[in-house]
Amino acid sequence: MLDVHDLTITFGPTTAVRGVSLTAAAGTVTGVLGANGAGKTSTLLGILARAPRQSGRITFDGADVTGFDTGALVRAGIALCPENRRLFPNMSIEDNLLLGAYGTGRATRRTRLRDTYDRFGWVATRRAEPAGRLSGGQQQTVAIARALMSAPRLLLLDEPSSGLSPVAVDEVGAVLADIARDGTALVLVEQNVRLVRALCATAYVLAHGQVTASGPVPELLSDTAVSDAYLGTTA
């Protein structure tokens, strides 16, 4: 589904990502782990053409989408649920959701809105409220729902559990499992190892912008060197 090859991203003098390659398959959750500043967010932004790529080839669904701009990538079926959720706090929940389907026709937007309300019942009852009034967990749900409004086949998620209570983390986990079950490919950047264990079959570990380990999650996380390096910085 997604094939990233040799991605390098620099911000001025800083190289945030160097030569990262990764793949993600439909209906699975692929984890990306790493300490603060390892380059996880930059990798996701790079895939969506929101960070300056120095090198890299992005293949999506067998087609080379390297030269696409963000709008074209979203239309092709890639969506990002960004770090810190980034809802528009002064706009209504419904406006936030509709923005996720920007560029589609009115009828499509209405259908997807209805599907969203079917899936997340409480969102419908609060749709006119400003998004900023929701709790962290609720905002995360709306952020995921907003990303789904573009009907993506690949969903990139940047630390959806951050700042949430354990109960809210479990709820988000259940939602993500559900999305994957529908056949969507998920790439999950996470520091919450429990969530990674619960959802991901395979994962990559990033350090200083490079992939230092990758493979099936149980083995990857039982590798003491990896868990020390990783958990050591998050404890």
Partner 1 sequence: MSQVLVNGVFLGCLFAVVAVGLTLVYGVMEVPNFAHAGVIVLSAYTTWSASAAGLPFALAALAGIACGALVSVLTEVLAYRWIIDRPAAAPAVALGLMLILQNVALRLYGGEGRSLDTPYDRVLLRLGGVSLSGVKAALVVLAVVSLLALHLLLSRTSLGRAMRAVAQDREAAAILGIPMRRQYALAFLIAGVLGGVAAIAYAPTFQVSPYMADEVLLSAFVVVVLGGLGSVWGAVAGGLVLGVVEGLGSAYLSPAYQSAFGFLLLVSILVLRPGGLRSTNARRVA
Ligand X SMILES: Nc1ncnc2c1ncn2[C@@H]1O[C@H](COP(=O)(O)OP(=O)(O)OP(=O)(O)O)[C@@H](O)[C@H]1O
Binding interface with partner 1 (CB under 8 A): 48, 50, 70-71, 73-75, 80, 82, 86-91, 95, 98-100, 102-103, 106, 109, 146, 150
Answer for which of 2, 4, 7, 16 binds ligand X (CB under 6 A) is 16
102 binds, among ligand X, Mg ion, partner 1, none (CB under 5 to 8 A by kind): partner 1
Residues 41-60 that bind ligand X (CB under 6 A): 41-42
Residues 138 and 45: their CA atoms lie apart, in Å, by: 24
Name the minimum Å distance from CB 70 to partner 1: 5
Residues 61 and 136: their CA atoms lie apart, in Å, by: 33
Name the minimum Å distance from CB 106 to ligand X: 35
**3-state secondary structure at position 47:** helix
Residues 71-90 that bind ligand X (CB under 6 A): 83
Answer for which of 2, 31, 39, 41 binds Mg ion (CB under 5 A) is 41
CA-based end-to-end distance of the chain: 34
Contact between 42 and Mg ion per CB under 5 A = no
CA dist 40 to 8, 101, 168, 211, Å?
A: 12, 25, 23, 10
**3-state secondary structure at position 158:** strand
